[in-house]
Amino acid sequence: MCLFFILLIFGPRVAMFFFWLFDTTRFNAAFDNIIWPLLGIIFVPWTTLMYIIVSPGGLSGWDWFWLGLMLLADIASYGSSAYGNRSMIKV
- pLDDT mean over 42-47: 90
Q: Contact, 64 vs 27, CB < 8 A?
A: no
**DSSP codes of every residue in 13-70:** HHHHHHHHHH-HHHHHHH-SSSHHHHHHHHH-HHHHHHHHHHGGG---THHHHHHHHH
Q: Does 86 score more than 70 pLDDT? A: no
Tell me the domain boundaries of the chain.
Answer: 2-84
Q: Contact, 56 vs 30, CB < 8 A?
A: yes
- pLDDT mean over 37-53: 90
> Which pLDDT score, from 0 to 100, does residue 23 have?
84
> Which pLDDT score, from 0 to 100, does residue 7 have?
73
pTM, full prediction:
0.76
pLDDT tier, 91 (very low <50, low <70, confident <90, very high otherwise): low
CA distance 27 to 33: 10
Q: Does 80 score more than 70 pLDDT? A: no
